[in-house]
Amino acid sequence: MTNEHIVGKFDDELSRIKSEILEMGDLVIEQIHLSTNAMMSLDTEDIDNLIQKDLKINGMYKTINRHAEQIIAMRQPVAMDLRMALLATSIASELERLGDYAKTTAQGVKKLSDDKYVKKLTSLLGDMSKEVQDMLSKILKAYQNNDIKLAAKIRKRDRIIDESFKKILNTVIKSISKIPEDSETLIYIVLLARNFERAGDRIVNISRQVHQIVTGIDLKASD
């Protein structure tokens, strides 16, 4: 086999991993969207379907890890190629955790109610979810195009998620005194909000990993 064939096959293998990451990311976005709809409508019908999607996401995570390990073992890549293979597993891990958050949201629908205070809070959670979904969509685009400028913009948007979490926490604290009978539900809403806040952090991690793939600089050590 000629060097050109070897290089071409190697490039194909790296492209396959990138495609798998993008496919996994799209599935996670769909998972977040569906679980948020279930939360907003108090609809439990799609929960089993959402759990099945989570199993598929977990399977994709394992597949990406296996393919990355094969590339590293067989091709012994260096520089940016090595970073692409190594950090693919890190990005897949972040996406897998995002899928877990979505599953938790869907599974908690039965703990919610249609009380007006609860509805106000789930509406705020819906706003957080929209921001998370858009951030994730944008960071996948940055990953696809090796766009570190777009990745940097996503990191700054995490402040919006953090502020939304604080707003929900403060609203819950005020609401508990008004509807103490729903205190368990209100506390659960804080846990859901915390999941969305963590989702924002996961996306920031992906943005840093995109930066490291392109530049070789680990922002966790300097940012």
> Tens digits of per-residue pLDDT, 135-184?
999 999 999 999 999 999 999 999 999 999 999 999 998 888 888 888 88
Handedness of CA 24, 30, 31, 32 (dihedral sign): positive
What pTM was estimated for this model as a whole? 0.91
Please count the other Cβ atoms lying within 10 Å of the Cβ belonging to residue 15.
Answer: 11
Band the pLDDT of 204: cuts 50, 70, 90.
very high
Q: Residue 6: its pLDDT value, please?
A: 47
Residue 108 pLDDT more than 80? yes
Percent of the chain with pLDDT over 90: 62
Pair of tokens at residue 134: 């858009």
Task: Map residue 77 onto helix, strand or coil.
Answer: coil
Q: Return the axis-axis angle of helices 79-107 and 3-41, rounded to nearest 10°.
A: 20
pLDDT, greater one: 106 or 147 = 147
Q: Are 103 and 51 in contact (CB under 8 A)?
A: yes
Q: Residue 116: its pLDDT value, please?
A: 76
Compute the distance between CA of residue 127 and CA of residue 88 in angstroms, rounded to an integer.
Answer: 29
Q: Residue 10: its pLDDT value, please?
A: 66
Give the C-alpha distances (Å, rounded to integers) separating 38 from 179, 183, 186: 23, 21, 17
Low-confidence winner among 41-50, 126-135, 200-209 (lowest mean pLDDT): 41-50
Write the pLDDT tens digit of every residue in 22-36.
999 999 999 999 999
Q: What average pLDDT score do residues 5-34 get?
A: 86
The CATH number of domain 3-221 is 1.20.58.220: yes
Give the C-alpha distances (Å, rounded to integers) separating 47 from 44, 53, 124, 125: 6, 10, 21, 18
Compute the distance between CA of residue 152 and CA of residue 221 in angstroms, rounded to an integer.
Answer: 16
Q: Residue 137: its pLDDT value, please?
A: 98
Q: Residue 7: its pLDDT value, please?
A: 53
Band the pLDDT of 75: cuts 50, 70, 90.
confident
Q: Residue 8: its pLDDT value, please?
A: 58
> Across all residues in the chain, what is the average pLDDT?
89
Half-sphere exposure of 168 (CA within 13 A, CB side): 29
Q: Are 25 and 55 in contact (CB under 8 A)?
A: no
Low-confidence winner among 14-23, 108-117, 122-131 (lowest mean pLDDT): 108-117
Phi, psi (rounded to 5 degrees) for 77? -70, 160
Q: What average pLDDT score do residues 74-79 get?
A: 82
Band the pLDDT of 222: cuts 50, 70, 90.
very low
**What's the farthest any 2 CA atoms get from each other in the chain?**
75
**Contacting residues for 164 by C-beta, under 8 A, at least 6 apart:** 124, 127, 128, 131, 193, 196, 197
